[in-house]
């Protein structure tokens, strides 16, 4: 069996489902589909879609960042247009990163479901990720729920792989394109609240370009989610105007 060909076939399907970078809602629904297919044991895609929906509302021209720029340059049409074009460019780049995260997540989940224990699979995916997703598939097959500790392990393993391979290079690339210190500062210090956060749960980033800070915040979001309850995390997507 040609495992590489199998992997690329699944990845091609993921890219088709992902659509264009602008197709955020299609990816949200497909990410949710991975969560459901895992018998709700693989929580990384569930929390990743919250991240994607928050980013859409913050970084878009019509979102929080665009509103700040429009207010700041309300009396200078040319400069406002120039700054909003920068925001639009960054938002497009961020959507492209989000698209690749979905492609990676969908592909790794379905590839490991079929071939995760096939000799040679560790030449295609990280052995740590293979091991973590094997736990998910075994639990799903048995119809059991992973413990909180094991869900945390799978989430962290998936997170670290994505940050290293896809997110960190993508964020660095997009931030490097900014020649505006004000906009760069706004992008690097966002205030983050996901829909399932409690009243006192808010992330004040010091430096969004710092991979270690992103990882720490993501792990904190997992802990908040586990305390709120996975059903509430899932249903809270409606706060973004999304039905799945």
What are the phi and psi torsion angles at 147 (to 5°)? -65, 165
Instruction: Return the closest-CA partner of residue 168 out of 231, 123, 215, 133.
Output: 215
Residue with tokens 């709700």: 40
Q: Using a pLDDT cut of 90, give the percent of the chain over it.
A: 62
Cβ-in-10-Å burial (0-12, 13-18, 19+) of 47 comes to: buried
Instruction: Give the pLDDT band (50/70/90) at residue 92.
Output: confident
**Residue 233, token pair as written in the block:** 């995390």
Q: What is the pLDDT of residue 1?
A: 75
Alpha carbons within 13 angstroms on the beta-carbon side of residue 111 total 29
Distance CA 136, CA 42 (A): 6
Instruction: Give the pLDDT band (50/70/90) at residue 61.
Output: very low
Res 223 pLDDT > 70 = yes
DSSP letter assigned to residue 181: H
CA 99-125-5 angle, to 5 degrees, is 80
Helix (H), strand (E) at residue 78: helix 77-115
Helices (H), 148-241: 148-162, 168-176, 181-188, 211-228, 230-235
Res 214 pLDDT > 90 = yes
Q: What is the pLDDT of residue 19?
A: 94
Q: What residues contact residue 102 under an 8 Å CB cut-off, 6+ apart?
A: 14, 17, 18, 27, 30, 31, 48, 52
Q: What residues contact residue 149 under an 8 Å CB cut-off, 6+ apart?
A: none
**Residue range 4-43, pLDDT digits in tens:** 999 999 999 999 999 998 888 899 999 999 999 999 999 9
């Amino acid at each position: 069996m040609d495992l590489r060909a199998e992997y690329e076939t699944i990845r091609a399907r993921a890219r088709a489902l992902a659509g264009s970078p602008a197709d955020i809602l299609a990816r949200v629904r497909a990410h949710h589909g991975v969560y459901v297919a895992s018998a709700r044991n693989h929580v990384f895609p569930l929390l990743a879609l919250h991240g994607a929906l928050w980013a859409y509302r913050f970084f878009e021209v019509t979102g929080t960042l665009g509103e700040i720029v429009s207010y700041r340059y309300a009396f200078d049409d040319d400069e406002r247009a120039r700054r909003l074009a920068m925001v639009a460019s960054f938002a497009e780049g961020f959507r492209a990163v989000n698209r690749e995260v979905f492609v990676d997540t969908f592909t790794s989940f379905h590839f490991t479901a079929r071939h995760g224990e096939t000799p040679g699979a560790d030449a295609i995916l990280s052995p740590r990720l293979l091991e973590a997703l094997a736990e998910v598939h075994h639990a799903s097959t048995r119809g059991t729920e992973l413990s909180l500790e094991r869900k945390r392990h799978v989430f962290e393993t998936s997170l670290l792989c994505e940050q290293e391979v896809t997110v960190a290079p993508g964020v660095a690339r997009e931030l490097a394109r900014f020649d505006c210190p004000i906009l760069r500062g706004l992008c690097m210090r966002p205030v983050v609240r996901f829909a399932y956060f409690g009243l006192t749960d808010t992330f004040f980033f010091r430096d969004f370009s710092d991979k270690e800070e992103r990882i720490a915040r993501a792990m904190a979001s997992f802990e908040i989610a586990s305390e709120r309850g996975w059903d509430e995390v899932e249903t809270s997507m409606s706060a973004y105007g999304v039905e799945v």
